[in-house]
Amino acid sequence: MSTITFCNTVKYILGEDSINQLAEEISKAEIKKVLLLFGGGSVKGNGVYDRVKKALESKSIASEELWGIQPNPLISKVREGVAICKDSSKHVEAVVAVGGGSVIDSAKAICTGAKITEDVWKCFKRELPTPEDHLPLYTVLTLSATASEVDTGGVVSNPEEHEKLGLFMHYPVASAVDPSIQFSLPWRQVMCGAVDSLSHLMEEYFSTDNKNITTRQINLALQKSIIRSMERIKADKTDLEARTNFCWAVSMALQGIPAFGLSGDWNVHWIEHSISAFNDKIAHGEGLAVVSLAYYPWLYKKGLCGDMFEDWAETVWGTKDVKEALQKMRELYVFWEAPLSLQDLKLKPEDIETIVQIEQKHQKWGALSPLIKLSAEDTRTVLQIAAGISSV
Rg (CA), the chain: 20
> Bridge-partner residues for 278, per DSSP?
none
Residue 1 has pLDDT above 60, yes or no: no
Q: Which of 74-83, 285-294, 368-377 shows the lowest mean pLDDT across its residues? A: 368-377
Q: Which of 108-122, 214-228, 359-373 shows the lowest mean pLDDT across its residues? A: 359-373
The pTM score is 0.94
pLDDT at 292: 98
Domains in the chain, CATH or no CATH each: 11-180 (3.40.50.1970), 187-387 (1.20.1090.10)
**pLDDT tens track for 206-244:** 987 677 899 999 999 999 999 999 999 999 999 999 999
**pLDDT tens track for 57-85:** 999 999 999 999 999 899 999 999 999 99
Segment 179-203 mean pLDDT:
97
Q: Could you write out the three-class secondary structure of the chain?
A: CCCCCCCCCCEEEECCCHHHHHHHHHHHCCCCEEEEEECCCHHHHCCHHHHHHHHHHHCCCEEEEECCCCCCCEHHHHHHHHHHHHCCCCCCCEEEEEECHHHHHHHHHHHHHCCCCCCCHHHHCCCCCCCCCCCCEEEEECCCCCCHHHCCEEEEEEHHHCEEEEEECCCCCEEEECHHHHHHCCHHHHHHHHHHHHHHHHHHHCCCCCCCHHHHHHHHHHHHHHHHHHHHHHHCCCCHHHHHHHHHHHHHHCCCHHHCCCCCCCHHHHHHHHHHHHCCCCCHHHHHHHHHHHHHHHHHHHCCCCCHHHHHHHHHHCCCCHHHHHHHHHHHHHHCCCCCCCHHHCCCHHHHHHHHHHHHHHHHHCCCCCCCCCCHHHHHHHHHHHHCCCCC
Dihedral through CA 291, CA 152, CA 265, CA 223, nearest 10?
A: -70
